[in-house]
């Protein structure tokens, strides 16, 4: 049972949109690529954990605080006997382990996820004590990328390698688990304490005027789109989409980037750029949003 869904982090969604509408410096681009990769790894891990057969509660992407320290848990699993925490890593390529440190093949040290998971484990234990919950905790680092190799990997550490993931899950599936209100109550308390994504540290400053306008292809993100009657068609990949849907998709992009701006026919007409007829835009907005105000003060919610 999934008790807390995993949503695409808003910071990642914003970077995704900005990267196609403005030029982004290479450092931000790197952060975007690594956030995206991390998120994809988590989704991949979800496909395994969602298959569990025994009774359990899954809480995804928790941001918690205890004693003024914030920590994040990628996936948390509550079963009858214990709570399991997973730190999911989508590293690809060759790495090596030496003196409790993790290095890439070309000797660049990266944050050791075992330290990360140790920290989460300790902070989470403190939180359980505070909430007067008595449950054993187990915390793991899961490397999900089949292309990942770790030389000199230590034995006896809480690591799940790509080749062990299936076995780990089938062991869980074979462990009898029945949940009671006690477990549900734990889940509810944790979700209640979840902090919404606080800030978007990687998102650069942006300005409406400087963003590239236009509907982009749903499939390949190209701006090379032609409107032909009911359809938008991509000149690069030939993908076709109903203009009405493409406009709505663009409205979602606009509101993600400018959540405080009102949706008006004028602004969406300017944002979509390629739909020449303003009336058409207002027709789509009218049939999908609630109209507020009159005449030139009309906006949509
Ligand atoms: Zn395309």
List, for residues 112-125, the tens digit of each pLDDT value: 999 999 999 999 99
Question: Do residues 174 and 284 share a domain?
Answer: no
In a domain, 200, yes or no: no
CA 35 to chain centre: 8
Domain that holds residue 108: 2-193
Distance 218 CA to ligand 1 centre (A): 7
Rounded distance from Cα 229 to ligand 1 centre (Å): 18
User: What is residue 200's predicted lDDT score, i.e. its pLDDT?
Assistant: 74
Provide the pLDDT for residue 104.
Answer: 96
Beta strand 83-89 with 69-78: parallel, antiparallel or unpaired?
antiparallel
Per-residue pLDDT reduced to its tens digit, 58-100? 999 999 999 999 999 999 999 999 999 999 999 999 999 999 9
40, 175, 275, 280 from 270: Cα distances, Å:
33, 57, 9, 13
Do 18 and 101 lie in one domain? The reply is yes
pLDDT at 199: 66
Residue 296, pLDDT above cutoff 80 = no
The pLDDT-based confidence of 293 (bands split at 50, 70, 90) is confident
**pLDDT at residue 197 greater than cutoff 80:** no
Alpha-carbon dihedral of residues 245, 247, 249, 254, nearest 10 degrees? -170
- In angstroms, what is the span from residue 215 Cα to ligand 1's centroid? 11
User: Which residues lie below 8 Å from residue 56, measured CB to CB, with a gap of 6+?
Assistant: 1, 77, 78, 79, 172, 177, 179
Give the integer Cα–Cα distance in Å for 157 and 32: 30
- Residue 199 lies inside a defined structural domain of this protein: no
278 closest CA partner among 259, 298, 258: 298
Q: What CA–CA distances, in Å, run from 178 to 28, 181, 203, 238?
A: 46, 10, 43, 51
Q: What is the rounded distance in angstroms from the CA atom of residue 210 to the CA atom of residue 216?
A: 17
**Shared-domain flag, residues 181 and 235:** no
The rounded mean pLDDT for the chain is 94
Count of Cβ atoms closer than 10 Å to residue 146 Cβ: 12
Which of 19-50 are b and which e, b meaning 16 or more Cβ less than 10 Å from the residue's Cβ? bebeebeeeeeebbeebbebbebbebbbebbe
Same domain, 135 and 255: no
Looking at the fold, whether 107 and 145 belong to one and the same domain comes out as yes
Domain end residue (candidates: 193, 228, 252): 193
Q: pLDDT above 70 covers what percent of the chain? A: 99
pLDDT tens-digit readout, 166-194: 999 999 999 999 999 999 999 999 999 99
**Coil/strand/helix, residue 229:** coil
| 294, pLDDT greater than 80 | no
State the distance from the centre of ligand 1 to the C-alpha of 224, rounded, in angstroms. Answer: 8
CA of 137 to the centre of ligand 1 (A): 47
Question: Does residue 208 lie within any of the structural domains?
Answer: no
pLDDT at 198: 66
Range with lowest mean pLDDT among 23-32, 253-262, 286-295: 286-295
């Amino acid at each position: 049972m999934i008790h807390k869904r995993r949503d695409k982090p808003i910071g990642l969604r914003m970077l995704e949109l900005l990267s196609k509408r403005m030029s982004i410096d290479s450092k931000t681009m790197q952060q975007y690529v690594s956030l995206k990769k991390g998120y994809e790894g988590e989704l991949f891990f979800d496909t395994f954990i969602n298959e569990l057969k025994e009774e359990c509660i899954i809480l995804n992407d928790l941001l918690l605080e205890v004693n003024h320290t914030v920590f994040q848990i990628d996936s948390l699993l509550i079963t009858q006997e214990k709570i399991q925490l997973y730190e999911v890593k989508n590293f690809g390529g060759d790495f090596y382990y030496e003196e409790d440190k993790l290095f890439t093949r070309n000797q660049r040290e990266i944050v050791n996820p075992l330290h990360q998971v140790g920290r989460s484990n300790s902070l989470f234990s403190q939180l359980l004590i505070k909430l007067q919950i008595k449950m054993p905790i187990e915390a793991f680092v899961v490397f999900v990328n089949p292309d990942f190799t770790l030389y000199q990997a230590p034995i006896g550490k809480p690591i799940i390698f790509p080749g062990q993931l299936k076995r780990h899950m089938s062991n869980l599936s074979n462990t009898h688990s029945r949940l009671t209100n006690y477990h549900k109550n734990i889940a509810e308390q944790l979700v209640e304490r979840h902090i919404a994504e606080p800030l978007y540290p990687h998102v650069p400053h942006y300005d409406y005027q400087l963003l590239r306008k236009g509907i982009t292809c749903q499939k390949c993100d190209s701006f090379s789109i032609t409107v032909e009657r009911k359809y938008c068609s991509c000149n690069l990949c030939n993908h076709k989409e109903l203009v009405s849907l493409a406009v709505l998709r663009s409205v979602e992009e606009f509101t993600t980037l400018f959540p405080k701006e009102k949706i008006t026919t004028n602004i969406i007409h300017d944002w979509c750029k390629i739909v020449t007829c303003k009336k058409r835009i207002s027709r789509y907005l009218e049939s999908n949003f609630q109209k507020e105000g009159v005449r030139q003060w009309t906006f949509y919610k």
